[in-house]
């Protein structure tokens, strides 16, 4: 029983990590008014390039660099199209996802060849000195791949960035009332650009985690909706750092339960568990919790002098 619980906690954290990474970045982007449905595509591209990079350079850090680069590149294009060109954010997002799915599948077959499950150099678990000896929870929580701790740090850094810095203030202003922000002298487009890049960087970390840290290989379409789940987590979390973190942990736990419960012999249909995060988010967004109000200018491009 002890072991199952430990496995549950450990896997929950591991499953939640890519969500935490991606959702934290996406939260910043949405607070600035840009909805990145392309999160899925960015994560997938990063996962693939991460695997590719790790294989080519022989080190997981190399994979990290490649993966991050791929995601940032996509984010750059997404930012340019959404903010500068003012194309429809939803269309562009879905388009990128389709593109990324096709491109990664194609390149995977060309480079790795078919359905190989080739193991790539990956991040091994890091044991936090002392803490990992805490009885019961210690090994589960404090013996994870380095990126898990990075995720925790990211949440803290992001919280500080959004709540306590001029940049964060500007981000929130730009997403709530871009016209007023412009009239106050803020560079609306540049801020949104940076916010999208931030989301891309975080999505890159998330994608790299999936392939290089979590299962040490790449499989086609391996994100499997994690990007959309991250967007959902931002919604359920009410566009606040703590809420988003909580939502991601909840989702991670729900996903983990899918494997743990059958092992325990509890006959809950897995479909129900997979559905749970989305049902929760739906409840949240139906206004039962008043706090869940999206930034007023979300998905709306800004043009000075226009309406």
Report in angstroms how near the CB of residue 39 gets to other proteins at its nearest: 12
Check residue 110 for interaction with other proteins (CB under 8 A).
Answer: yes
Which residue's CB is nearer to other proteins, number 9 or number 222?
222
CA atoms within 13 A on the CB side of 201: 12
Stretch that binds other proteins, among 149-157, 178-186, 193-201, 245-253 (CB under 8 A): 178-186
Q: Does 166 bind other proteins (CB under 8 A)?
A: yes
Q: Determine if 98 is a binding residue for other proteins (CB under 8 A).
A: yes
Task: Write down the least CB distance from residue 122 to other proteins, Å.
Answer: 25
How far, in Å, CA of 191 to CA of 202, rounded? 17
Q: Which is nearer to other proteins, 147 or 229 (CB)?
A: 229
Dist. CA 26–CA 99, nearest whole Å: 20
Residue 86 to residues 218, 222, 251: CA-CA distances in angstroms?
34, 30, 33
Task: Give yes or no for residue 232 binding other proteins (CB under 8 A).
Answer: yes
The H or E element that residue 143 is part of is: strand 143-145
Phi, psi of 126, rounded to the nearest 5 degrees: -105, 130
> Least distance in Å: CB of 262 to other proteins?
12
Choose which of 21, 181, 244, 249 interacts with other proteins (CB under 8 A).
181
- Residue 27 interacting with other proteins (CB under 8 A): no
Q: Does 103 bind other proteins (CB under 8 A)?
A: yes
Least distance (Å) between residue 194 CB and other proteins: 15
Is 185 a residue that touches other proteins (CB under 8 A)?
A: yes
Q: Is 106 near other proteins (CB under 8 A)? A: yes
Do 207 and 46 touch, CB atoms closer than 8 A? Answer: yes
Cβ atoms of 20 and 153 closer than 8 Å: no
Number of chain positions touching other proteins (CB under 8 A): 63
CB of 174 to other proteins, least distance (A): 9
Cα distance between residue 201 and residue 215, in whole Å = 21
DSSP code per residue over 46-105: HHHHHHHHHHHHSSHHHHHHHHHHHHHHHHHHHHIIIIIS---HHHHHHHHHHHHHHHHH
The answer to whether 261 contacts other proteins (rule: CB under 8 A) is no
Which of 96, 198, 239, 302 touches other proteins (CB under 8 A)? 96
Distance from the Cα of residue 78 to its chain's centroid: 16
Q: Exposed, middle or buried, 183 (CB in 10 Å: 0-12/13-18/19+)? A: exposed
Q: Which of residues 273-302 bind other proteins (CB under 8 A)?
A: 274-275, 278-279, 281-282, 285-287, 294, 299
- Contact positions toward other proteins, by CB under 8 A? 35, 81, 85-88, 90-92, 94-103, 105-106, 109-110, 164-166, 169-170, 172-173, 176-177, 179-187, 225, 228, 231-232, 235, 269-272, 274-275, 278-279, 281-282, 285-287, 294, 299, 304-305
């Amino acid at each position: 029983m002890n072991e199952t619980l430990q496995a549950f906690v450990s896997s929950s954290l591991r499953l939640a990590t890519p969500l935490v990474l991606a959702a934290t970045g996406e939260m910043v982007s949405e607070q600035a008014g840009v909805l990145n449905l392309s999160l899925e595509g960015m994560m997938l591209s990063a996962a693939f390039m991460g695997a590719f990079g790790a294989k080519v350079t022989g080190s997981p850090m190399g994979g990290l660099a490649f993966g991050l680069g791929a995601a940032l590149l996509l984010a750059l294009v997404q930012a340019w199209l959404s903010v500068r060109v003012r194309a429809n954010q939803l269309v562009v997002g879905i388009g990128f996802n389709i593109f990324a799915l096709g491109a990664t599948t194609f390149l995977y077959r060309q480079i790795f060849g078919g359905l190989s499950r080739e193991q790539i150099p990956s991040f091994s678990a890091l044991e936090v000195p002392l803490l990992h000896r805490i009885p019961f929870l210690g090994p589960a929580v404090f013996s994870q791949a380095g990126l898990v701790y990075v995720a925790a740090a990211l949440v803290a850094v992001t919280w500080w960035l959004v709540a306590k810095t001029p940049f964060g203030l500007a981000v929130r202003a730009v997403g709530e009332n871009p016209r007023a922000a412009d009239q106050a002298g803020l560079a609306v487009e540049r801020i949104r650009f940076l916010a999208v890049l931030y989301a891309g960087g975080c999505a890159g970390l998330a994608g790299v985690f999936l392939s290089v840290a979590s299962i040490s290989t790449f499989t086609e379409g391996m994100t499997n909706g994690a990007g959309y789940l991250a967007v959902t987590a931002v919604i359920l979390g009410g566009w606040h750092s703590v809420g988003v973190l909580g939502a991601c942990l909840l989702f991670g736990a729900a996903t983990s339960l899918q494997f743990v419960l059958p092992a325990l012999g509890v006959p809950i249909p897995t479909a129900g568990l997979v559905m749970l995060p989305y049902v929760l988010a739906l409840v949240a967004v139906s206004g039962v919790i008043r706090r869940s109000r999206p930034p007023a200018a979300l998905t709306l491009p800004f043009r000075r002098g226009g309406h």
